[in-house]
């Protein structure tokens, strides 16, 4: 992977025009930086991530009745659904590079220069070896990125499931006896979820800060590259569109599940208030009032306090990407 990334980066400096250099910088460098950061985070924080996984299957958050099992299955189903879609989009983006084999001019899928090695009609073996090297390198690149992204989405999705279970359990409180039996345990579960949210934010904040900073430019560069192709039926345009789709999924997943964590933690206050507190003693009502004050601020995940993991951040990034894309298109039309 190190040799592959070095070769990929080196190719930027053998481009023929300044425009190609700018596009490849947006298209390659930012993507590689994000992937390397995610890989280092997962590798050097393995023990912390393992502990987080262990927390997601703790006994305290196992379903206790049929309603909780239904909530649990629904949450797991959402994690699987979006994860499978993302894995499919990543595989399609890499698999689309095979479309270059249908061209007769022996073009490479990702970078045209390989340390000066000749390839083409008279050096077909060289072409096949380099082509396979590029496709396999990008495939492993995709696997590393997808693995860490799905890892984060699983953790956020499980936190959202835990909040659903807490919501149900707080709503079921009806008497002072039930309060005395389960209130301390519920507060401990709430604090455990809160610690998990902070831990996830600390672990993944650097990588996703860089990703949100770069993804808009990468999507913009991909869209511009696809739209600037003269032949609308050119097969390589499909590769660019599928790559852009995978990038949009990459941004969407943490925003989707991060938004659910914020929304459900905010709804937890309503769940506490929806319990039958009015039938409890004054002492229990005071404890519930203090808990509501504690829950006054919903859980919010941020990348270095600049980007929130929520759907408004996702739409804002796409709007920024479209604005830059429109500017590039306008400049291209003026030159033509």
Full pLDDT tens readout for the chain, 336 residues: 777 777 777 777 775 565 556 556 666 777 788 888 888 888 999 999 999 999 898 888 899 899 999 999 999 999 999 999 999 999 998 998 888 888 778 888 877 777 778 888 888 899 999 899 889 988 988 898 899 999 999 999 999 999 999 999 998 888 888 888 888 889 999 999 999 999 999 898 888 888 777 776 677 666 666 565 544 446 667 777 888 888 888 889 989 999 999 999 999 988 888 888 888 888 888 888 888 888 888 888 887 767 788 888 888 777 777 776 676 667 766 766
In a domain, 104, yes or no: no
In a domain, 216, yes or no: yes
Which pLDDT score, from 0 to 100, does residue 297 have? 86
In a domain, 130, yes or no: no
Residues 6+ apart with CB under 8 A from 55: 192, 196
Which pLDDT score, from 0 to 100, does residue 53 have? 93
Q: What is the Cα–Cα distance from 291 to 151, expressed in whole angstroms?
A: 31
Six token digits for residue 13: 């400096």
CB-side neighbour CA atoms (13 Å) of 193: 28
In a domain, 266, yes or no: yes
CA distances in angstroms from 22 to 26, 27, 215, 321, 329, listed in the order given? 6, 8, 15, 15, 15
Q: How many domains does the chain have?
A: 1
In a domain, 66, yes or no: yes
Q: Could you tell me if 209 and 26 are in contact, meaning their C-beta atoms sit under 8 angstroms apart? A: no
pTM of the model: 0.86
Q: Could you tell me if 99 and 240 are in contact, meaning their C-beta atoms sit under 8 angstroms apart? A: no
Which pLDDT score, from 0 to 100, does residue 231 have? 46
In a domain, 136, yes or no: no
In a domain, 306, yes or no: yes
Residue 302: which region, alpha, beta or left (left: phi > 0; alpha: psi -120 to 50)? beta
Which pLDDT score, from 0 to 100, does residue 230 have? 45
Which pLDDT score, from 0 to 100, does residue 78 have? 95
CA distances in angstroms from 189 to 163, 169, 183, 285, 312, listed in the order given? 9, 11, 10, 20, 29
In a domain, 126, yes or no: no
Q: What residues make up the domain containing 247?
A: 13-90+144-334
Residue 17: which region, alpha, beta or left (left: phi > 0; alpha: psi -120 to 50)? beta
Spell out the long-range contacts of 29-33 with Cβ–Cβ below 8 A and sequence spacing 24 or more: 30/210, 30/214, 30/215, 30/217, 30/218, 31/214, 31/218, 32/5, 32/8, 33/210, 33/214
Which pLDDT score, from 0 to 100, does residue 232 have? 44
Q: What is the 3-state secondary structure (H, E, C) of 30-90?
A: HHHHHHHHHHHHHHHCHHHHHHHHHHHCCHHHCCCCHHHHHHHHHHHHHHHHHHHHHHHHH
């Amino acid at each position: 992977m190190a040799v592959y990334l070095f070769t990929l980066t080196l190719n930027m400096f053998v481009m023929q025009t300044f425009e190609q250099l700018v596009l490849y910088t947006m298209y390659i460098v930012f993507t590689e930086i994000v992937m390397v950061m995610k890989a280092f985070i997962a590798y050097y924080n393995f023990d912390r991530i393992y502990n987080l996984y262990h927390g997601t299957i703790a006994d305290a958050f196992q379903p206790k009745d049929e309603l909780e099992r239904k909530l649990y299955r629904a949450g797991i189903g959402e994690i699987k659904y979006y994860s499978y879609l993302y894995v499919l989009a990543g595989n399609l983006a890499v698999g689309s590079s095979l479309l270059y084999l249908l061209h007769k001019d022996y073009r490479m899928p990702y970078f045209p220069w390989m340390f000066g090695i000749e390839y083409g009609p008279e050096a077909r073996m060289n072409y096949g070896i380099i082509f396979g090297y590029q496709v396999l390198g990008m495939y492993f690149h995709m696997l590393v990125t997808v693995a860490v992204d799905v890892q984060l989405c699983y953790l956020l999705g499980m936190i959202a499931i835990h909040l659903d279970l807490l919501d149900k359990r707080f709503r079921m409180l009806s008497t002072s006896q039930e309060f005395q039996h389960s209130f301390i345990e519920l507060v401990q579960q709430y604090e455990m979820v809160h610690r998990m949210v902070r831990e996830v934010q600390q672990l993944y904040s650097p990588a996703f800060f860089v990703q949100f900073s770069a993804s808009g430019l990468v999507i913009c560069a991909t869209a511009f590259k696809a739209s600037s192709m003269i032949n609308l039926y050119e097969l390589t345009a499909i590769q660019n569109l599928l790559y852009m789709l995978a990038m949009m999924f990459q941004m969407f997943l943490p925003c989707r599940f991060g938004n659910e964590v914020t929304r459900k933690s905010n709804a937890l206050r309503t769940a506490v208030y929806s319990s039958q507190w009015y039938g409890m003693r004054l002492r229990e009502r005071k404890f519930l009032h203090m808990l509501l004050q504690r829950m006054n601020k919903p859980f919010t995940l941020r990348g270095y306090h600049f980007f929130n993991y929520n759907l408004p951040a996702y739409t804002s990034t796409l709007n920024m990407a479209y604005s830059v894309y429109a500017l590039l298109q306008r400049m291209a039309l003026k030159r033509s």
